[in-house]
């Protein structure tokens, strides 16, 4: 696996389209904070850290559905290991004119686009969610 963040986003996208109740992924601090942002924005219902049979930490994300439709309409990765995309706080793109969010990796940790603009911090654009 070359890009663990894209793998995590693909697992979430597949779980929401398949109508699964939860999504399980290998744990990392970056994935955990990414899932925490999705939880505070209302795209997923719960995030917990568990362990698998071998004792490795896993991240369990409970998916959220509204009238049997997934709360995550689309989830796309922006930066890749071969093409990193950085943006100043004045140039952070808006997702669907503010209806969606983009998540940035900044010097102050992972932030959604609105918080990064408010704190006047730029960084690497990780993904877009709507």
Q: What is the mean pLDDT of the chain?
A: 96
pLDDT-derived band at 2, boundaries 50, 70, 90: confident
pLDDT tens across 69-96, in order?
999 999 999 999 999 999 999 999 999 9
Q: Are the folds of 4-70 and 75-129 the same?
A: no
pLDDT tens across 62-73, in order?
999 999 999 999
- List the domain boundaries for the chain: 4-70, 75-129
Token look-up 């509204």 returns 66
CA 13, 100, 79: angle at the middle one, nearest 5? 60
The CATH classification of domain 4-70, taken from the options 3.30.420.40, 3.30.1370.30, 3.40.630.30, 3.30.360.10: 3.30.1370.30
pLDDT tens across 23-46, in order?
999 999 999 999 999 999 999 999
The per-residue pLDDT for 4 is 95
The CATH classification of domain 75-129, taken from the options 3.30.1490.10, 3.90.550.10, 3.40.470.10, 3.30.360.10: 3.30.1490.10
């Amino acid at each position: 696996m070359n890009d663990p963040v894209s793998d995590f986003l693909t697992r979430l996208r597949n779980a929401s389209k398949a109508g699964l109740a939860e999504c399980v992924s290998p744990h990392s601090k970056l994935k955990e904070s990414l899932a925490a942002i999705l939880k505070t924005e209302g795209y997923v219902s719960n995030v917990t850290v568990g362990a698998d049979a071998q004792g490795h930490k896993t991240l369990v994300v409970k998916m959220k559905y509204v009238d049997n439709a997934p709360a995550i309409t689309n989830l796309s990765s922006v930066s890749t290991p071969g093409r990193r995309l950085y943006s100043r706080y004045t140039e952070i793109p808006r997702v669907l004119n503010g209806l969606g969010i983009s998540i940035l990796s900044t010097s102050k940790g992972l932030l959604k686009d609105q918080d990064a603009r408010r704190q006047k911090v730029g960084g690497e654009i990780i993904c877009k969610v709507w």
